[in-house]
Structure 1
Amino acid sequence: MSEDAPAWFTEALAAPVELGVVDVDGAPIHYRAWGKAGNDGGIVLVHGGAAHSRWWDHIAPFLARDRRVVALDLSGHGDSGRRDEYRMDCWADEVLAAAAHGGAGPDPLVIGHSMGGMVAITAARLRGTEMAGAVAIDTPFWEEQPEEQAAGAQQAFGPLRRYPSREDALRRFKLIPPQDGNVPAVYAHIAETSLYAHDDTWTWKFDPNVFRGRARPVPLELPQCRVAVFRAEHGLVPVDMGERIAERLGRVVPVIEIPLAAHHVMIDQPLSLITGLRTLLEDWTHSEPHKPRP
């Protein structure tokens, strides 16, 4: 870890964490868990495309002080198994299975970033009665995800390259879409945990096939549970898209802006994201949901 890492980040990474694996339809799904199991109001954190559970290492401990928090690797990502086909409904099943196995159930709140926000909303649409709510963070509904755009343009996420050394691989790490202002310690941690060793070489922890053949778009329907949308001020969800999402979901969805943030909010504005999520959790703990407008 960098010597100039901020104290809050160092403390977050030192927080006790448990590792677990649950089988979902033949694939081992790995997860990390913080906080005491059995506490009410469990949370599941879902990463974006080509990412993994450790994007949440510095966020989860701040949400786990009185809750169980689970961050999973979706199939095709991180340390979890691969599949012949990747579907949103299957990923939603993985999320709820990890919640139950990892002690974040029953009725977890599912929080997803980018593509993970689509997974969260899919879970709410299909199995919302089993959830306390769903939160999508800078998820550009009705548009291709940035990873899909890059893969389609053959700019990234093609066949995995193998690098002769860890250092060589880290020099190639980049965010899609690129952004400035990242917290250096957070950026370095995510890059370092995105690699694994294979036959004396290093490569990335994702299956390029996750970007091929997925059904789109994700339908937005009146929710069976609470839903909230976070948008980054300089991210992929413009103001008018946030308004369209709220309108489609019955005008009961808060649309919350993270100031100064780009798409990868947990890398450039992590403390603002933590503050926004904790504020939403506190409000939802003490308020009753509005009924959606027909």
Structure 2
Amino acid sequence: MTAATNEAPAWFTAALAHPHRDNTVDVNGTAITYRTWGNPQQRGILLVHGGGAHLHWWDFIAPLLADDYYVVALDLGGMGDSGRRNEYTAESYIAEIIAVAGAAGLDNQSVLAGHSMGGAIALRVAVAHPDRFSHLLMLDSPLRPKTDAQEESGKARSPFQNKRFYPDFETAVGRFRLMPEQPVTNSWIFDFIAKNSLTETDEGWCWKFDDNAFKTRMFGQGSELADQLTVPLAIIYGQLSKFFDNETLDYMHEVLPDSTPFIPVPEAHHHLFLDQPLAFVTAIRALMRTWAER
């Protein structure tokens, strides 16, 4: 690991204190939790977290956008504080995002943004509901060509399966890891996310996700949807991300329209807004201004 910054800066503390509203919406019998920041009359942004994550990953990002935008984040089914399902499918996640957008009052000029697995889901939302959002933003969420090797890797065991239980909160926090693992440069962000990723059960402390949600890989490589996408797309990625090597970038430039912005965040890995939160917010703000001018 690289040297971590231990003391939380003032902007982070202020962001966590920013006013917000918590709500739930029922989606086919499952309670889906979501949080909103800012004025609902402003242009909207809906944020979708990655696999095994939750809406609190956005708690220090959303307030930095909330002066100018109405920001919404949700816990996908089986993750965070949302309810659990007997079965998790791409269709169930799509339905949750559409339901939260409606319940939160987001109009069709809103932007849909997803990180990692959340980007893969957001892509499917934009293809299935091309008139629901004005733009799509994929955050370190790559498109890859489908190959035999990747088909096999898609069947590989998920790191989120077989959830463990810990005897106390401190032990559990100490076991928190990013997936995939990467250097921790801002330990105050890492600690905040770790502490908000846990819940207490009769068996002990465990992570806030249903490991049944990861028994199947349902999203493919995303490349099969590229030519079906009609919503304008932008890509923000970590310049050091293991998922955005030169081969992947070359492929994405090949299959996506020439007008697609590709924005690297310097000194950032896959979890780019943990590494460089202020640069990440600056990139989103710049994109939103560009899209507003068109």
TM-score, normalising length: structure 2: 0.89
Report the equivalent of 1:279: 286
Q: CA deviation at 1:200?
A: 6.8
Residue 190 (1) aligns with residue 193 (2): yes
- Secondary structure at 2:252 match in 1: helix
2:93 aligned counterpart, secondary structure: helix
- CA offsets, 1:240-283, max 9 Å, x none? 32342233232221111111100111111111111111110111
1:9 paired with 2:12, answer yes
* Stretches of structure 1 lacking an aligned partner (at least 5 in a row): 288-294
Preserved CA contact (<8 Å) 1:129 1:224: no
Q: 1:152 deviation in Å?
A: 3.2
Farther off after superposition, 225-234 or 248-257: 248-257
Cα deviation 1:15-62 (Å, max 9, x = unaligned)? 0010010111221110111001232x2010000000000000000011
Partner of 2:53: 51
In structure 1, the residue matched to 2:238 is 232
Q: Distance in 2 between matches of 1:195 and 1:143?
A: 36
Q: For the residues of structure 1 that align with 2:145 and 2:183, how far apart are their CA atoms?
A: 23
Question: Judging changes above 3 Å, is the alpha-carbon distance between structure 1 residues 149 and 57 closer, same or farther for their aligned structure 2 residues?
Answer: farther
Gaps of 5+ in 2: 147-151
Residues 56-82 of structure 1 deviation map (CA, whole Å, 9 limit, x = unaligned): 000001111122111000011101111
How much has 1:88 moved relative to structure 2? Answer: 2.2
- Corresponding position of 2:163: 160
The Cα shift of 1:87 comes to: 2.0
TM value normalised by structure 1: 0.89
Aligned equivalents of 2:178 and 2:275: distance in 1? 12
Equivalent residues of 1:100, 1:106 under 8 A apart? no
Is 2:155–2:217's contact at 8 Å kept on the other side of the alignment?
no
CA contact (8 A) 1:46 1:120 kept: yes
Shift of 1:107: 3.5
Q: Which amino acid aligns with 2:227?
A: E
Q: How does 1:86-235 map to 2 (within 5 A)?
A: 86-142=88-144, 152-153=156-157, 156-199=159-202, 201-215=204-218, 216-218=220-222, 219-235=225-241
Q: Which amino acid aligns with 2:84?
A: R
| Runs of 4+ in structure 1 over 6 Å off | 148-151
Instruction: Determine whether 1:18 maps to 2:21.
Output: yes
User: Cα RMSD between the aligned structures?
Assistant: 2.2
Displacement of 1:178 in angstroms is 1.2
Identity of paired residues, percent?
38
